Amino acid sequence: MAFDAILPALAEALAARGYDALTPVQSAVIEPEAVGRDLVVSAQTGSGKTVAFGLAMAGELLDETGKAPPPAAPLALIIAPTRELALQVSREFIWLYGPTGARIATCVGGMDASKERRALNQGAQVVVGTPGRLRDHLERGALNLSALRAVVLDEADEMLDMGFREDLEEILDATPDGRRTLLFSATMPQSIVALARRYQKDALRISTVTDARGHGDISYQAVTVAPADIEHAVVNLLRLHDAPTAMLFCATRDNVRHLHASLTERGFGAVALSGEHSQNERNAALQALRDRRARVCVATDVAARGIDLPSLSLVIHVELPRDAETLQHRSGRTGRAGKKGVAVLLVPYPRRRRVEMMLRGAKIAAEWVSPPTPDDIRAADHERLLTALLQPVEIEEEDRALAEKLMAEKSPEDIAGLLVRAHRASLPAPEELIDVSAGLPARPDGPRPGFEDTVWFRMDIGRRQNADPRWVLPLLCRRGHITRSEIGAIRIAANETMFEVTRQIADRFAQAVQRTATDADDEGSVRIEAMDGKPREEAKRNRREDNAAGQHEARPYRKTLTPQTGGPRPSQGAGGPRSASSGGPRSGPSAGPRSGPSGGPRPPYGAGGPRKGPPGAGGKPYAGGGGGKPYAGGGGGKPARPGGGNKRPR
C-alpha cells in the first residue's frame, strides 16, 4: 500500500519495516487539519504513538526533498518519563528517519553524560531524553533549544505523576514561542489540561481511545490460586504457554529478586528488571530478550511503560496491579502492532471479588480459568514435540551417518523414546498445585455442585498458627480418611479454621477424626469438632448468648448525670452498685479499700472499692480521700493533696 500523505523517505522506511497500513492515531496526526498545529493526543498503549508523532513532525524536520538539513542545534525535542521509553523512542526514530539523514541524540539518566554532551556539540536534528537529564544539560549550556521547531511530551500524565512538573516547565520555558507542542497522554486528568492550556495555542484534540480499555489484541485470563501456590502457578503457566518471550510483573524489588532466582534455579532463561538495576544492566537484560538468550523477564512496574519486545506474547501479573490503569499498562507490553497476546492475572482466592470489581470497572472481559495441571502441560509438550519433529528439515550427511549407526544398535522405537526423554529432560518440571476449588467460599449464585447439604466442622488452628490450605487439606484427608473432593469451603479465621464436608460422609468423618486423635505433639493433637450450624449463624447465636449471659456483668463507667443527685451515674461493677446519695465507695465482698500512705496504685476494673489515702485528702481518682469522682473515697469537695495542696500525691 502506498502512503500518499507521507513523504517518500518515511514511506520507504515504513514499508521496509513491514507496515502495510497506518494505525488510527498515525492516520489522525497527518490529516490536513492537524498539519502544523499543536496537538493533544489520547491513544491506547501499543497503538503506535511513537511512529505517530514521528510522522506528525516531519514537516518541521525535513525539507522539500525529504532530507534533513545539516546537523546543528536541535529542531525537535522528545521528552519521555523513563529511560526505557526514551531509548525505545530513539530506536524507533533511527529506523524511521534513517533514510533522511537525520541524526538522533539520546540523553537519559544512568548513561555517560560526557558522551551525551559530545553528541549534542556535534549536532543532532532530534534529541530524545528524560526530564531530569535534559534539564541538567540545559542548565550546563550543553543543550541549545533556540532553533527548536517541535517538542513532544510522551506519556505526559506519567511524567506529572512522577513529579517532573518543575523539570518540564523549566525546559518548556526555554523553548521558542513559535514551536509546535505535541502532547501525548493515555489519560487526560486536570493537570494535563492545565499544562496544555499554558504551553499550547489553539491545540487540536485527537482521541483514539475506545470505550473498552483492554486492548483488542490481548486475551485476558484470570487464574484463581492458593496464596502459597503463586510461584508454582507461574512455573506451570510458563511451561503451558511456552511463549517466545514472557514478562512477569511483581510489586517490589525483593519479590523480583526472589522470583528471578527461583526461575533461574528451575532452568528458565530469565532476566530481572527493577529500579535497583543500573542502566547498563537494564540494557543488557533487554538485549538478552531480543536475542532470545533469555525468554522470561521478571520486572516491577518500572518496566510497564516503554518496553517494546516484538516476540512478547505473554504477560503474567504475579502480584495484582494496584489499579486498572496499571493493569492496562502492564498488559499493554503484549498485543502490540496487530499481534496477539495473552495477559494472565494470578488471583489469590481471598481477593477474587476485588479483582472482579477491578475488571468490571475497567470494562475488561477476562476468562476465569483453572491453573494448568502437570497433565495439561505434558499434553501440550507432546503436541509441540510432534510438531517440531514432523517439520521438514534438511539433514546433513554427518547427522545421517550418525543416525545409521544408532539404527544398527537400537530399534526405531527405542531411538524415538530416547529422543522424547532427552527433550523432556531439558524442560523445567511442572508443579503440583492445590485444588483451590475445594477451598473457595460459595459464590453468590449458590454453593458448589454436590455441596448443597453439608455439615460444618472447626479445628483449633488459624492464621496465627500459620494455617494454610496447602497443608490443611492433606491433614483433613489423613485425619478424616476422605478425599479432597469431599471437602467444601474452607474459612480460615485468626485462631480457628472452619470447613464443610458433605452430610452423607459427616458421621464417618467425625468417627475417623476421633480415632486418629492423639495427645502427642503432632497433627493428631489438632482438635476437630462439628459445629452447630454454619459459621455466620453460629457466630450470631454465640453473640446473642454472650449478651444474655453478660447483661448483669460489669459495664464501663460512663460519666452521666443522674436526675436525683446530679452526681455520677451508679455503675453495676463487681463490687456492687454505688450509693446514689453520696457517690461513695462500692460495697460488696470484694470492695474493701486498699491501704497505703498515698493512695497506692490504681486497682484493676471490677476489683472493688476506693483507695485509702490520708484523712482529709481530696476526691481526685488517685488521691483516695474525699470527693465524688470514680475510685475516690469520702465525700464531695475539690480534689486536694494531703496537707492542703491540690496536686496528686506521688
pLDDT at residue 394 in the model: 81
Give span(s): CATH 3.40.50.300, the chain: 8-207, 218-376
Alpha-carbon gap, residue 3 to 642, rounded angstroms: 100
β-pairing verdict for 367-369 and 218-225? parallel
CA dist 354 and 324 (Å) reads: 12
Q: Please say whether the beta carbons of 623 and 599 come within 8 A.
A: yes
pLDDT digits (tens, 9 = 90+) for 12-55: 888 888 888 888 889 999 999 999 999 999 877 667 889 999 99
Given 3.40.50.300, 3.40.190.10, 3.30.70.790, 1.10.10.10, which CATH number is that of 218-376?
A: 3.40.50.300
pLDDT in tens, 240-259: 999 999 999 999 999 999 99
* Correct CATH for 8-207 of 3.30.70.580, 3.40.50.300, 3.40.50.2020, 1.10.3720.10: 3.40.50.300
- pLDDT at position 315: 95
Q: Tell me: the pLDDT tens digits for 432-461?
A: 887 665 544 444 445 666 677 889 999 988
Which amino acid is residue 132, in one-letter code? G
Between residues 518 and 281, the one the model is more confident about: 281
Q: Report pLDDT for 448.
A: 65
Residue 583 has pLDDT above 70, yes or no: no
Helix (H) or strand (E) holding 425: helix 412-425
For residues 301 and 176, the model is more confident at 176
Which of the residue ranges 199-203, 305-309, 543-547 has the most confident prediction, judged by mean pLDDT? 199-203
For residue 603, the model assigns a pLDDT of 44
Q: Cα separation of 315 and 221, whole Å?
A: 10
pLDDT reading at 141 higher than 70: yes
CB 627 within 8 A of CB 641: no
Predicted pLDDT of residue 589: 43
Average pLDDT over residues 312-331: 89
**Mutual orientation of helices 279-290 and 83-97 as an angle, nearest 10°?**
50
- The C-alpha cell at 580 is 446514689
N-terminal to C-terminal alpha carbon distance within the chain = 95
Of residues 594 and 348, the one with the higher pLDDT is 348
**Nearest 10 degrees: CA dihedral of 89, 93, 96, 98?**
-150
| CATH dotted code for 436-545 | 3.30.70.330
Q: Would you call 230 exposed, middle or buried from its count of C-beta atoms within 10 A (0-12, 13-18, 19+)? A: middle
pLDDT at position 544 over 70: no
Q: What mean pLDDT value characterizes the chain?
A: 78
pLDDT over 90 percentage in the chain: 29
Q: CB of 535 within 8 A of CB of 462? A: no
Length of the chain equals 650
With cut-offs at 50, 70 and 90, classify the pLDDT of residue 163.
confident
pLDDT band at 82, cuts 50/70/90? confident
What is the pLDDT averaged over residues 277-284?
83
Q: Predicted confidence band at 642 (pLDDT cuts at 50, 70, 90)?
A: very low
List alpha helices for 98-155, DSSP H. 113-122, 131-139
Distance CA 59, CA 299 (A): 38
Residues 509-525 have a mean pLDDT of 74
